[in-house]
Amino acid sequence: MESPVTALIRGLGLLAMLLGSRVFATEAPPLDVQQSQVFRAWFVRIAQEQLTQGPSPRWYQQDCAGLVRFAANEALKVHDDKWLRSNGLSNRYLPPELPLSETQRGLAQQWQ
């Protein structure tokens, strides 16, 4: 039997599919298969951190939809040392960096 956290995160995988489709008004190319897998890995890691370590002060709308928006926006960012410190993440067991164009990174601003 799945835990509620695992079920929530599995259900949120739909977001990765949406980011790979042409649902948005931008001309950004959809995420390819590899980008979608890396996005999903970052999304899950960020969502898990919010549920296990407690919410980030930057997660303003602390409900299920807010968690989806927060994790997706953070997954689309560059995960440098500054980002890791501001999110309280160690650099252990991190997914690889998500290779996105600037247009693709801008997807986050379209649906906040």
Q: For the chain, give the longest Cα–Cα distance.
A: 41
Distance, in Å, from the CA atom of 16 to the CA atom of 35, rounded to the nearest integer, reads: 9
Task: Name which of 26, 47, 40, 14 is nearest 111 in CA terms.
Answer: 26
The 8-class DSSP code of residue 111 comes to -
Please tell me whether residue 74 adopts helix, strand or coil conformation.
helix
Q: What pLDDT was estimated at residue 3?
A: 66
Q: What pLDDT was estimated at residue 24?
A: 47
Distance, in Å, from the CA atom of 54 to the CA atom of 11, rounded to the nearest integer, reads: 20
* Number of structural domains found in the chain: 1
Task: Give the residue ranges of the chain where pLDDT is below 70.
Answer: 1-26, 57-58, 60, 111-112
Domain that holds residue 12: 4-22+29-110
In the Cβ-directed half-sphere of 102, how many Cα atoms lie within 13 Å? 0
